[in-house]
Chain A
Amino acid sequence: MPAEQKKYEYLDHTADAKFLAYGKTLEEAFGNAALAMSNVMIDTSTVSSTLSQYIDLTAEDLEGLLFDWLSEFLFLMDAENLIFGDFKVHSIKQEGGQFHLNATVYGEHIDPSRHMFDTEVKAATYNDIQVQPSADGWVLQAIVDI
């Protein structure tokens, strides 16, 4: 399968989960990174899109933005009991030395009778975090702590 068709792939890591996420655009790659992290926890095809949430983040660089983006879903899971399976990143823009992300994500309240979690992701990490342009668009790398 050509790399541009693959949304993400997992790399082996002893203790945690490491993945690459791809996208023709930066926005698509960020969406796929969230999908990769969510699929560490749960098969996202079992998550319905009954509610949506608007997300607006600002960070000083793209790595920081990726860290904040992934961290946001872990926060929403613990604090609001929400799980998401569909991530639409509208835009990632650079303005005045800052990067802004706008997205709408779709998911639902966690229902233990329907949602089978494999494991819990505790946190996004800065370890080996990368946001790089590639021949086909963008490739992101992240390790999440489980």
Chain B
Amino acid sequence: MFMSEDSDISLKLNKINNNTWELPCGYKAGMRVPGRLFLSPPLLEILEQGTLEQVANVATLPGIQKYSMAMPDAHLGYGFPIGGVAAFDREEGVISPGGVGFDINCGVRLIRSNLKENDVRPRMQDLLEELFHAIPSGVGSKSRLRVNDGQLDDIFINGARWAVENGYGVPKDVEMCESQGMMEGALIKQVSTKARQRGRPQLGTLGSGNHFLEVQYVDKIYDTKTADAFGLHEGQVTFMIHCGSRGAGHQICTDHLRTLTQASQKYKIDLPDKQLACAPTDSSEAQNYFGAMVCAANYAWANRQVIMHWAREVFQNFFQKDADELGMDLVYDVAHNVAKLEEHIIDNKKQEVYVHRKGATRAFPPGHPEIPAHYKDVGQPVLIPGSMGTASYVLHGTLDAMEISFGSACHGAGRVMSRAYAKREFKGEQIKRELSEMGISVRATQPALIAEEAPEVYKSSSEVVDVVHVLGIAKKVARLMPIGVVKG
């Protein structure tokens, strides 16, 4: 069964408030800090025992600050839970590839438009077909782009900027990306030949699994002032891209996980789970991984930028409107699998920490130097995609998030059912029909793929977002409803 069989989870936790639970240090030997889970009582009820173990395991790692955290969408990962946030001191702490995940800088990009729901709904299936053909998805799909080694270096170093400089987009796109679509500190020598070979043919591809393109409309505004700043209003069509660094990122994580597994022994770090492999922040092993991770993160930003460019071309041709008329401007692009060196206030003192967000979104407040100037007064847009057929949300970052969760929020809905179970329970054609009755078109390479991402296999995105909203770590701005989905 997909639900926890251990109904006593809440007995192991101390209730801090209705949506915050503490896992005490006494839960497991070696925990250096308590765990902290941000869950409503119904979400707590479906938490798996294994997720709790993973929160506890992360709490044993050297240099961890304040808490090992789990966001409301948390579920079982490998090593770190998905929906996990952990900050490690710059000097005393560690860096861990397991705290980032294999799909480095998997993330979400939201594009607004001047189109209205009624402009697209009657022609949705045709538009999806165009998008499906313009943007390769699924296993073994071939990109329209094939980059050489020199270009790959440039992409690893410059991310989305490379794409814009090469004609995929406009300069203001990069200003609207987290880290301006380019993290500093890329170490291209730490990217293996294998990672390069996987990266070369895949730039400009969506991938598969839970990755998607979605045509949506804004169906509800919660905060007009912030929505205005984000350029969002009711009835407007938006477009969302969810994908990551493809094989290049997977290989970079695979390669460095190997090295760091050995490094953990070398530095005598006691690991409750091999997938937690890590090394002291200033060790060559940790820094080499971090520099390679930056390369993958930048590749992912370039990837989403190229995909957005092709999507804009499709919309322009399809609606016979030019770029200005369409107004397909980037609202924001967030990473939800990445580690970053950030400054946070801990015990009333400024401290530099490596914040690992694995299935968690950065949620920086108004006035923070690392958010676009245009959003200075309202805070960073926090993009939370729903599962296929359910609402996505736009929120904004807050000062409370800096205090409560190292400026982090949830990243999506969070799975409650395995893909294998979903395939046994659902038939793709049936899900497609049900979605169609709800006014949502879906395009995938084959209908069977739709079953594994059926809306029922995820927690409710609304419930997850409500926890974040009530806690104040990000506040709701707008709700987006899907009209058409290209499933990767």
- Is chain B found bound to chain A in the same assembly? yes
Contact of B209 with A119 in the complex, beta carbons under 8 Å: yes
Chain A nearest CB, measured from B281 CB (Å): 21
Q: Please indicate which of the listed interface residues B207, B258, B417 has the most CB atoms of chain A within 10 Å of its own CB.
A: B258
Chain A nearest CB, measured from B5 CB (Å): 11
Residue of A nearest to B273 (CB): A127
**Given the complex of chains A and B, what is the CA–CA distance between A143 and B274 in angstroms?**
12
Contact of B76 with A118 in the complex, beta carbons under 8 Å: no
CB contact list, B1-34 vs A, under 8 A = 2
With A112-B445, A120-B209 given, is the CB distance from A15 to B418 under 8 Å? yes
**Given the complex of chains A and B, what is the CA–CA distance between A60 and B380 in angstroms?**
46
How many contacts A-B (CB < 8 Å)? 129
CB contact list, B242-298 vs A, under 8 A = 246-247, 250-251, 253-254, 257-258, 261-262, 273-275, 277
Residue of B nearest to A41 (CB): B139
Q: Chain B at the A interface: mostly helix, strand, loop or mixed?
A: mixed
A112 touches which one: B78, B141, B275, B423 (CB < 8 A)? B141
A interface footprint on B48-84 (CB within 8 Å = 1, 0 otherwise): 1000000000000000000000000001111100100
With A67-B258, A75-B251, A127-B274 given, is the CB distance from A122 to B419 under 8 Å? no
B367 at the interface (CB under 8 A from A): no
With A15-B75, A79-B198, A126-B275 given, is the CB distance from A118 to B103 under 8 Å? no
Chain B nearest CB, measured from A103 CB (Å): 18
**Given the complex of chains A and B, what is the CA–CA distance between A21 and B36 in angstroms?**
36
Residues in B with CB closer than 8 Å to A126 are 78-79, 98, 257, 261, 273-275, 277
Contact of B275 with A13 in the complex, beta carbons under 8 Å: no
Chain A nearest CB, measured from B289 CB (Å): 14
A95 at the interface (CB under 8 A from B): no
Residues in A with CB closer than 8 Å to B98 are 126
A115 touches which one: B102, B103, B140 (CB < 8 A)? B140
Residue of B nearest to A18 (CB): B418
Interface size class of A (residues with CB under 8 A): 35 or more
**Given the complex of chains A and B, what is the CA–CA distance between A55 and B194 in angstroms?**
15
Chain B nearest CB, measured from A76 CB (Å): 10
With A12-B2, A14-B75, A126-B277 given, is the CB distance from A75 to B194 under 8 Å? yes
A81 at the interface (CB under 8 A from B): yes
A136 at the interface (CB under 8 A from B): no
CB contact list, A72-101 vs B, under 8 A = 74-75, 77-81, 83
A interface footprint on B437-454 (CB within 8 Å = 1, 0 otherwise): 000000001101100100
**Given the complex of chains A and B, what is the CA–CA distance between A13 and B452 in angstroms?**
13
Q: Please indicate which of the listed interface residues A42, A110, A112 has the most CB atoms of chain B within 10 Å of its own CB.
A: A112
Residues in A with CB closer than 8 Å to B318 are none
Residues in B with CB closer than 8 Å to A124 are 254
Contact of B416 with A68 in the complex, beta carbons under 8 Å: no
CB contact list, B407-422 vs A, under 8 A = 415-421
Contact of B417 with A14 in the complex, beta carbons under 8 Å: yes
B361 at the interface (CB under 8 A from A): no
**Given the complex of chains A and B, what is the CA–CA distance between A146 and B273 in angstroms?**
20
Contact of A79 with B194 in the complex, beta carbons under 8 Å: yes
B231 at the interface (CB under 8 A from A): no
B261 touches which one: A41, A64, A117 (CB < 8 A)? A64
**Given the complex of chains A and B, what is the CA–CA distance between A129 and B258 in angstroms?**
13
Number of interface residues of B (CB under 8 A): 52
B275 touches which one: A71, A79, A110, A127 (CB < 8 A)? A127
Contact of B274 with A15 in the complex, beta carbons under 8 Å: no
Residues in A with CB closer than 8 Å to B77 are 15
With A67-B258, A123-B102, A143-B78 given, is the CB distance from A110 to B250 under 8 Å? no
Residues in B with CB closer than 8 Å to A51 are none
Residues in A with CB closer than 8 Å to B273 are 126-128
A129 touches which one: B82, B140, B251, B274 (CB < 8 A)? B274
B201 at the interface (CB under 8 A from A): yes
Residues in A with CB closer than 8 Å to B430 are none
CB contact list, A17-40 vs B, under 8 A = 17
Contact of B445 with A68 in the complex, beta carbons under 8 Å: no
A74 touches which one: B200, B201, B250, B277 (CB < 8 A)? B250
B interface footprint on A102-123 (CB within 8 Å = 1, 0 otherwise): 0000000010100111111011
Residue of B nearest to A68 (CB): B258
**Given the complex of chains A and B, what is the CA–CA distance between A132 and B382 in angstroms?**
45
Residues in A with CB closer than 8 Å to B224 are none
Contact of A71 with B139 in the complex, beta carbons under 8 Å: no
Residues in A with CB closer than 8 Å to B251 are 74-75, 78
Contact of A15 with B415 in the complex, beta carbons under 8 Å: yes
B139 touches which one: A15, A68, A119 (CB < 8 A)? A119
Chain B nearest CB, measured from A112 CB (Å): 5
Residue of A nearest to B106 (CB): A122
Residues in B with CB closer than 8 Å to A83 are 140
A81 touches which one: B78, B140, B261, B420 (CB < 8 A)? B140
Contact of B208 with A117 in the complex, beta carbons under 8 Å: yes
16 contacts between A and B (CB under 8 A): A12-B418, A14-B48, A71-B254, A75-B197, A78-B198, A78-B247, A78-B250, A79-B198, A79-B247, A117-B139, A117-B208, A122-B250, A126-B273, A127-B78, A146-B209, A146-B419
Counting from the closest, the 3 A-B pairs by CB-CB distance are A127-B78, A78-B247, A79-B197
Given contact pairs A120-B209, A126-B261, A127-B275, enumerate 16 new A-B contacts (beta carbons under 8 Å): A14-B2, A14-B75, A14-B418, A68-B258, A78-B201, A79-B194, A110-B139, A117-B445, A119-B139, A122-B209, A123-B102, A123-B254, A126-B79, A127-B273, A145-B78, A146-B209
